[in-house]
């Protein structure tokens, strides 16, 4: 029945998805605020078309959140579905083969900004839901949808909403479909995401810039001082010199390490095509997966100071700034690492310099317990369509909302139907259409299985109806 849904409806589904992708909902650019709202309205209209009796655009200080509830089916479990309708800016525009907001199919791939991250995957879940609707648009389980428009720009609307109304996260499981397969044919669930500690280190050594002929040899140079400080934060072998940094790290389990060793991995292809370097650096006595998934990092993102114009200007800079960040792994806390970084910089800063470390933003790492029965149900769905259960991997990046979705105790399933070469945040982002069609089948199967065994459905009233009751 699900297969025939995709076969029968394919051309309509493509028309709908293209319509959604044509809206340039770039959350970071104020000029596109209206487009973000249009994307939220497109989703609301679509959820209403799918028969949801509760569909709301929730306002906040930023782009709105879309909330919807399926018709209530007593005694059935509730699934919370999260996704985001905003996208990254598309530049550099001249690197796109076809324009980012004119979705185009080439070779079974649909090219557009947001095709994979995350509009295409949101669409996949909506269509899986449509595929399992029975007569009168009744689903086999209760589904609550929450879609935000600020995932890519670090906004707070969804955080504010879930902090004031945590009951919205009350569910038997939360499903986040914003990730990718490990490789073609290899579905994945994610057991951990790294956190982040982003800081600016600024150094002042003089009240004003000086002439390097007159004062060179005696005056402290702010850029040189900054570079010396930075060089002491990390050794040439990749070891980071921030006090207590490695002590807090919870090492991956033996099961995780064994699993990672068995994943297909082409180191030559990884080096030359993905990393595009001559050699990998860092803690070379650890495997690549330990280094990108299970260990903290320290990267310098940019340095500002002195003279960088055309030609030569002989100046001793008075002031210099560097932007740096650490990726954090389970066991570590953003606040602790921030303090430790401030201490590490203070320890190596010379007497003659005023040195400040400002923490710009960050978040804690996330760990997901994939032993919850909801993961078995998802694996059954993967197995029925893909012939393989999901591999358990980690991700090097972060999705800040994930811990909040588990506030009321629901297990948070992090998965997706993208492929590693989808080009998220890059020019020519794409979604492989065969993944979309398979994905609809996988999640439709998941909804059916979850309806049967995903929980006992004891929480009978929905958050919106409770809110209305409370207001009366
Ligand atoms: Zn995303």
**Could you report the per-residue pLDDT of 226-239, keeping only the tens digit for each?**
999 999 999 999 99
**Cα 392 to ligand 1 centre (Å):** 19
pLDDT class of 362 with cuts at 50, 70, 90: confident
**Cα 206 to ligand 1 centre (Å):** 44
**Cα 177 to ligand 1 centre (Å):** 9
**Cα 6 to ligand 1 centre (Å):** 24
Look at residue 56 and give its three-state secondary structure: strand
Can you list the positions of beta strands (E) in 46-112? 54-58, 65-69, 78-84, 104-106, 109-111
- The closest of 168, 409, 420, 384 to 269, measured between CA atoms, is 420
Instruction: Specify the pLDDT at position 452.
Output: 95
Torsion of CA 364, 365, 371, 372, to 10 degrees: 40
Instruction: Summarize the confidence of residues 322-332 as an average pLDDT.
Output: 96
Specify burial of residue 409 (Cβ count, 10 A radius: 0-12, 13-18, 19+): exposed
**Cα 153 to ligand 1 centre (Å):** 11
CA dist 228 and 183 (Å) reads 41
Instruction: Specify the pLDDT at position 464.
Output: 77
**Cα 167 to ligand 1 centre (Å):** 24
pLDDT class of 135 with cuts at 50, 70, 90: confident
**Cα 235 to ligand 1 centre (Å):** 33
pLDDT in tens, 237-263: 999 999 999 999 999 999 899 999 999
Instruction: Summarize the confidence of residues 358-363 as an average pLDDT.
Output: 90
pLDDT in tens, 406-423: 888 899 999 999 999 999
Identify whether the C-beta of residue 378 lies closer than 8 Å to the C-beta of residue 189. yes
**Cα 326 to ligand 1 centre (Å):** 21
Q: Which residues pair with 146 in a beta bridge?
A: 67, 82
pLDDT cut 90: percent of the chain above it: 88
Residues by chain with Cβ below 5 Å of ion ligand 1: 117-118, 178
Question: Longest C-alpha distance within the chain, in Å?
Answer: 87
Residue 458 has pLDDT above 60, yes or no: no
**Cα 356 to ligand 1 centre (Å):** 33
């Amino acid at each position: 029945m699900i297969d025939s849904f995709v076969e029968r409806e394919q051309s309509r589904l493509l028309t709908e998805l293209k319509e959604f992708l044509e809206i340039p909902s770039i959350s970071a650019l104020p000029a596109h605020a209206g487009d973000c709202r249009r994307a939220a309205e497109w989703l609301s209209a679509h959820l209403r078309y799918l028969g949801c009796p509760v569909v709301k655009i929730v306002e906040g200080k930023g782009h709105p959140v879309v909330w919807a509830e399926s018709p209530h089916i007593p005694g059935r479990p509730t699934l919370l579905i999260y996704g985001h309708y905003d996208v990254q800016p598309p530049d550099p525009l001249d690197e796109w083969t076809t324009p980012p907001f004119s979705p185009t199919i080439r070779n079974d791939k649909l090219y557009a900004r947001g095709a994979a991250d995350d509009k295409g995957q949101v669409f996949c879940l909506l269509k899986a839901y449509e595929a399992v609707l029975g007569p009168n648009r009744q689903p086999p389980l209760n589904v609550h949808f929450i879609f935000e428009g600020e995932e890519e720009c670090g906004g707070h609307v969804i955080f504010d909403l879930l902090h004031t109304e945590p009951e919205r996260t009350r569910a038997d499981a939360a499903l986040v479909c914003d990730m990718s397969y490990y490789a073609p044919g290899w579905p994945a669930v994610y057991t951990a995401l790294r956190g982040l500690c982003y800081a600016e280190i600024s150094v002042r050594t003089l009240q004003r810039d000086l002439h390097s002929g007159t004062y060179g040899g005696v005056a402290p140079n702010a850029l040189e001082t900054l570079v010396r400080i930075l060089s002491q934060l990390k050794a040439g072998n990749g070891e980071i010199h921030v006090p207590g940094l490695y002590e807090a790290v919870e090492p991956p389990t033996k099961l995780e390490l064994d699993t990672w060793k068995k994943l297909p991995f082409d180191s030559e292809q990884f080096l030359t095509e993905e990393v595009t370097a001559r050699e990998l650096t860092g803690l070379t006595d650890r495997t690549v997966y330990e280094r990108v998934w299970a260990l903290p990092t320290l990267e310098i993102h940019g340095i500002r100071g002195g003279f960088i114009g055309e030609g030569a200007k002989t100046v001793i800079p008075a002031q210099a700034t560097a932007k740096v960040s650490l990726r954090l792994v389970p066991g570590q806390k953003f606040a602790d690492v921030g303090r430790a970084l401030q201490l590490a910089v203070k320890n190596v800063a010379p007497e003659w310099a005023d040195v400040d470390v400002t923490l710009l933003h960050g978040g804690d790492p996330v760990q997901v317990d994939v032993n919850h029965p909801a993961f078995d149900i998802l694996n059954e769905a993967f197995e029925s369509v893909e012939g393989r259960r999901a591999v358990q991997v980690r991700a090097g990046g972060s999705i800040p909302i994930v811990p909040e979705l588990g506030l009321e105790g629901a297990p948070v399933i992090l998965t997706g139907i993208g492929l590693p070469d989808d080009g998220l945040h890059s020019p020519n982002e794409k979604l492989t259409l065969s993944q979309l069609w398979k994905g609809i089948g996988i999640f439709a199967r998941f909804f059916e299985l979850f309806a049967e065994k995903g929980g006992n459905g004891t929480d009978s009233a929905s958050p919106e109806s409770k809110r209305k009751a409370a207001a009366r």
